[in-house]
Amino acid sequence: MSEKNSSVINKFEQATLDESSTKPLYFSKVTIEGDNGSSPLSNGFYKTILEHPLTAPLQNVDSSLSMFQAIRNNFLYTGLYQDVSVSFEQDYDSATLEYMRNGIPHEYGIELPIPTHAKISLKPSALYNSNAASTTINDDSASLAVCRTWLNQLGLADSEMLYWGINYNPIKSAWEGITCKGFVSVPLMRNPSIKGLLDFEYNELTDLSSDSQTTKKDYENVTSMGFKKSWILDNCKSIPFFYTGLSFTNRLSRNKNDKSGEAREYYLKTGVISQFQHDTRKFFGTLPISGYLLKLNNEYVLSQSNLHSLDESIENNFNKFQFNLEHHVSYLKNIFTRSFDLQFGGIVPMAEIESVHPADRFCSTGTNLLRGFQPSSSDFANNFYYKVGLNTSHKIYRTPLNSPLRLGLFLNIGNAFNDLQNAFDSYAAAAGASLFYKTPQADMDLTYAYPLTSRPQDIAKPGFSFGIKFSYF
């Protein structure tokens, strides 16, 4: 190697991007290290992701950085890796430079490219073929759930998940619900930021509020298929995604009476679903301390079939949308955290005569929406709802800053209604305090809630309540 070329390489290794962006590089080697040994990507997937450096190895510095940044993102889009890093080294063992010296006449004065070895280091996800289970106990309910995930079983960056859960009502001493769901996801080789998804979900619910002579059970099967597009922003600080696809819902309601026998009602629905999510939250342990979570969901119903006959069609379709925003800010080095929660949704009929299944309507109260209230069966037949919540989290005196034990205060307001003009005429509101303990293995809270105002259909739940959730990995 001549002294001139050697000095050029030394300058290139120490130069900034602006000073060396046009210098030519020749990628004589591209190596990948750190992939999961038991379930690596297929050779075909590797070749597709690395197509550009393999087919066009001669690049300048600027285009090389852009090319390998795209390659890094494509590996991250697969969801198989926690982190991906790329580094360039001079390939001293390459015979390419000598070949170019012999093939390019010296008198042309053409600058010879630098033989370069690109190293890609992969850090696999910790969730490869993982098992998880959880048990949740509240003062009026209990549940058990197990989940199994698989990653890259086919070598195509595919992912699979199965979930099974069951709910128990300790007041009625009976099992009241079963949920089973799962999905299969496979990214496109040439653009892993786009994934094809197939989802299914089965729900079985027993109505324990009926009298002893009547047994009511509701069954629901939902299958959806579509595509999910993701974007990597701010060097992986957030990865928003958009999903769209078709959804097929099959519902069966069985009412069995000791005197009148059994009655069945069927319902079929086909719709186009769209989802957008952007999560920039940062966590202190399991507690969100900054950033926001934005969720937008929309379902446009294409067709419905009547409850009593599968052959009777319903032409009055509807559009259903939901908005959810969480925002978190911390102060004084995470000693104090303020959280804001806003939710609202609506059903817009596509015809003058409204036809919406009760399971598609909204409620505003219940354990999942408003603290301080119990679920009410009379609160589910609504076309619109909203919820506003303000929560604070405080470090407890004489506990470490990173202690999972915190004190929280909350205020939540909500309403479910059919007429927009009556949105704020009446609403349910409650305030209170919580002492909670949050770790990946345990989530416990003791809450005191005081309902401030309620509507006639609400079931207020003042006083203390507790919840415990244990997770096993």
Distance (Å, whole) CA 71 – CA 45: 12
What confidence score (pLDDT) does residue 6 get?
A: 35
Pair 416, 363: CB distance under 8 Å: yes
Amino acid at residue number 319: N
Whole-angstrom Cα distance, residue 45 to residue 155? 8
Give the mean pLDDT of the chain. Answer: 84
* pLDDT tens, position by position, 388-426: 999 999 999 888 888 889 999 999 999 888 888 878 888
Q: What is the second-level CATH architecture of the domain 3-124?
A: Roll (3.10)
In the predicted model, is pLDDT for residue 18 greater than 70?
A: no
Distance CA 239, CA 83 (A): 13
Q: What is the pLDDT of residue 380?
A: 67
Pick the most confident of 20-29, 165-174, 274-283: 274-283
Pairing of the two strands 114-124 and 81-90: antiparallel
Question: Confidence class of residue 68 from pLDDT cuts 50, 70 and 90?
Answer: very high
| pLDDT > 90 in the chain, percent | 40
Domain 131-472 has CATH 3.20.20.70: no
Residue 13 has pLDDT above 60, yes or no: no
pLDDT at 105: 56
More confident residue, 298 or 217: 298
Whole-number pLDDT of residue 306: 74
Region 325-348: mean pLDDT is: 92
Work out the pLDDT band at 14, boundaries 50, 70, 90. Answer: very low
Structural domain boundaries of the chain? Answer: 3-124, 131-472
Mean pLDDT of 224-238: 88
Instruction: State the pLDDT at residue 90.
Output: 83
236 against 106, higher pLDDT = 236
Q: Band of the pLDDT at 227, cuts 50, 70, 90?
A: very high
For the chain, how long is the longest CA-to-CA vector? Answer: 104
Residue 75 has a pLDDT of: 93
pLDDT tens for each residue of 249-263: 999 988 877 666 677
pLDDT at 5 over 60: no
Tokens of 410: 């909350």
Q: Poorest-confidence range of 288-297, 302-311, 345-354, 439-448? A: 302-311
Task: Report whether pLDDT(107) > 90.
Answer: no
Beta-bridge partner residues of 27? 116
Residues 256 and 377: their CA atoms lie apart, in Å, by: 19
Per-residue confidence (pLDDT) for residue 422, from 0 to 100:
79
Instruction: Give 234-284 pLDDT, tens digit per residue.
Output: 777 789 999 999 999 999 988 877 666 677 888 899 999 999 999 999 988
